[in-house]
Structure formats: structure tokens, C-alpha cells
């Protein structure tokens, strides 16, 4: 009965998104970015800080049109958010410290921007490599815990990792605070455990931490796929028997694709919607679009995308799309 109720809620949310899409004409084609407030039109707060602080003078990062050669190429390095925040705060290796120049919030904003946008358009560089890190040896190190949970999912399957995550949420504040990105990494490890089978991994998972496992699973399924193959991979990812046999899982898979496509496109909402519209049925397309909009509203990595406007809550759906 609980699954039936949950699926009914899911269908209701799909219907709502359908109404919004039809009424507002959103999705399909690209967007010119016009119609939003200042932050929507000129990028996220983190992107502005990256530019204002001259980060591009030292670093290369395509998403910021930065071509500096002094520091590491961020598109190649793809550092996680914690690593960026620590480096920006304390400096080192020739980089100045910004702890006295930027607020803690500003540091997190620029860290979120770099962690999400670095490597945009080069999905082949996104990879999860299991190593020897163990959860018990990570203490309060968020990056270590993320990797270790991914390792556990790879070694013992996603169920073991998700059960451990649910257990530690109440005892470890770092795990609680990083729950959703950890669940994403469990998706990566779980996919490797099942040798790329979305269906088998999906059947072994659950919705712990805001369904981060499902979102991460589809994110990592798309990682490394060339742009001209994304539509094909997306169309087949949710058609495995283990998913199709369960209506709620089928919805979650399509919805998770939307999250994954936003991450694949580095939060290019119109492009992510274009990919959703390449799916086979209207149910697939609308469920996927719902995931795109949810990731846009509540980023898995704390990023405020340029497709949000405080002045226009329907932006960009009621703006001109080209």
C-alpha cells in the first residue's frame, strides 16, 4: 500500500509538471537566458566570485572562459567541493589564501561552482576509481567518506552501502551533512558493482538521502558518454527488466535521468530538457523533465544555477526560448 501511495504522489507531481510545461511552453530548443534577475542572467554567485577574484588569471576552466596557465587546469583536475573550499581558504602551493578576503559563504559558493562546472563538456573525464579507503578510517573527512562509501558499494553492492549510510546519519554529523553527495557516489560504486547494469543496481538500491543513489546512478551511467550518444544511452537506461517490472522504480529512473542530465550538461537546463525530449514516451519525457527542474531548484552540490530568478518564479518557462 505504501508503494501505491508513493506512486500516486509521483503521478500527481508528473501531472503538475505536465501542466506547467504545456501552459508555459517550457522545454525543447535552447534558451537565451533573458527574463531573469541579475543572478539568473549573469551566472551563479560562485561564477561571479571566480571572475571578480581573478581566478581565471591562474587557472584554465572552460565554463568560466578562463585560460590561465599558472595553476592547475581545473577541467583536468575536477576537484571536489571540499578540496576547492580548503584550497581557497588556506591557499598553498603558490596560491594565496582568501580566508581574509572572502566570507565563508562566498568560499562555499565559488567551491560549489568549480566542483560542478569544471570539466563541463568533457564528460569522459568524469570517473570513479575504487581505492582502499574504508569508512572506519575516514573520521570526519567528508571527501574520504564519500570515496569510502563508493568503495563499499563497489565491493559489497549498493544495499550494504546505503544501509551503512542510513545507520551513520544519526551518529556522524559529517555524514548527515554530506548525505546526498555520498549517496551519489554510492550510485557510482553500485553501477560498477553490477558492471554497468542500471536495472540490477536500481533494484538493489533505495531512496535514502533524498533518492541521491538513484540520481547518482544515472549521473554515472551518463559519465563518459559522448554528446552525440547521450540521447541513445538515456533512452535505453530505464528499459531494463528489473526497472520496467516496477512502476515506481520506472518513474524514479526517468526522474533520476533528469538529475543526471543536468549534471552531465553542467546545469544547462535547456540542453538537459532537449535530452529528456529524446526519450520514447510522454511519460518518460515528463518524468525526466521533472528531474531536470528539481535539480535546478535544489542542486545536488549546493549550486545556484543561472536558470533561477527571485523575481520570476516560473523563469525560464514563461520566457522566450529559441
Predicted local confidence at residue 158, as pLDDT: 96
State the pLDDT at residue 47: 87
Question: What residues of the chain score a pLDDT lower than 50?
Answer: 1-25, 28-42, 122-126, 321-322
SS3 (DSSP) at 87: helix
Which pLDDT does position 151 carry in this prediction?
96
Task: Give the integer Cα–Cα distance in Å for 4 and 247.
Answer: 9
For residue 141, give the nearest of 195, 199, 182, 100 by alpha carbon: 182
Q: What share of the chain is helix, strand, coil (3-state, %, to 5)?
A: 60, 0, 35
How far apart CA 259 and CA 117 sit, in angstroms, is 15
- Domain limits, the chain: 2-33+126-297, 44-120
H or E stretch including 49? helix 45-52
Q: Give the per-residue pLDDT at 312.
A: 84
Which DSSP string do the residues of 252-303 spell out, in sequence order?
Answer: HHHHHHHHHHHHHTTS-HHHHHHHHTTSSSHHHHHHHHHHHHHHHHS-TTS-
- For residue 141, what is its C-alpha cell? 573527512
Helices 142-156/158-168 angle, 10° precision: 140
Burial environment of residue 231 by CB neighbours within 10 A (0 to 12, 13 to 18, 19 or more): middle
Position 28 scores a pLDDT of: 47
Neighbours of 133 (CB within 10 A): 18
Class in CATH terms, 44-120: mainly alpha
- Cα(212)–Cα(201) distance, integer angstroms: 13
Predicted local distance difference test score (pLDDT) of residue 126: 44
What are the b/e assignments for 28-47, b being 16+ CB within 10 Å?
A: eeebebebbeebbeebbbbb
pLDDT of residue 26: 52
pLDDT of residue 160: 97
What's the CA gap between 218 and 258, in Å, rounded? 9
C-alpha cell at 18: 505536465
Amino acid at each position: 500500500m505504501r508503494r501505491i501511495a508513493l506512486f500516486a504522489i509521483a503521478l500527481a507531481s508528473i501531472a503538475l509538471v505536465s501542466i506547467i510545461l504545456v501552459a508555459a511552453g517550457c522545454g525543447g530548443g535552447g534558451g537565451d537566458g533573458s527574463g531573469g534577475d541579475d543572478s539568473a542572467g549573469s551566472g551563479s554567485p560562485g561564477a561571479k566570485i571566480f571572475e571578480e577574484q581573478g581566478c581565471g588569471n591562474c587557472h584554465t576552466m572552460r565554463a568560466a572562459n578562463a585560460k590561465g596557465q599558472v595553476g592547475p587546469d581545473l577541467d583536468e583536475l575536477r576537484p571536489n567541493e571540499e578540496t576547492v573550499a580548503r584550497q581557497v581558504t588556506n591557499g598553498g602551493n603558490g596560491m594565496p589564501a582568501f580566508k581574509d578576503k572572502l566570507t565563508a559563504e562566498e568560499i562555499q559558493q565559488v567551491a560549489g561552482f568549480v566542483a560542478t562546472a569544471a570539466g563541463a563538456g568533457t564528460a569522459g573525464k568524469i570517473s570513479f576509481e575504487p581505492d582502499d579507503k574504508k569508512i572506519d578510517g575516514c573520521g570526519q573527512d567528508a571527501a574520504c567518506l564519500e570515496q569510502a562509501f563508493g568503495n563499499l558499494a563497489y565491493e559489497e553492492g549498493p544495499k550494504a552501502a546505503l544501509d551503512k549510510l542510513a545507520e551513520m546519519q544519526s551518529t556522524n554529523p559529517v555524514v548527515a551533512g554530506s548525505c546526498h553527495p555520498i549517496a551519489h557516489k554510492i550510485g557510482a560504486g553500485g553501477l560498477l558493482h553490477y558492471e554497468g547494469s542500471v536495472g540490477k543496481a536500481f533494484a538493489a538500491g533505495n531512496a535514502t538521502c533524498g533518492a541521491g543513489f538513484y540520481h547518482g546512478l544515472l549521473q554515472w551511467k551518463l559519465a563518459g558518454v559522448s554528446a552525440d550518444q547521450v540521447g541513445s544511452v538515456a533512452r535505453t537506461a530505464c528499459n531494463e527488466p528489473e526497472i520496467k517490472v516496477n512502476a515506481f522504480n520506472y518513474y524514479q529512473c526517468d526522474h533520476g535521468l533528469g538529475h543526471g542530465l543536468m549534471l552531465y550538461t553542467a546545469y544547462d537546463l535547456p540542453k538537459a530538457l532537449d535530452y529528456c525530449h529524446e526519450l520514447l514516451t510522454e511519460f518518460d519525457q515528463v518524468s525526466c523533465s521533472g528531474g531536470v527542474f528539481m535539480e535546478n531548484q535544489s542542486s545536488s552540490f549546493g549550486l545556484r544555477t543561472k536558470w533561477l530568478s527571485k523575481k520570476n518564479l516560473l523563469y525560464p518557462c514563461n520566457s522566450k526560448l529559441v
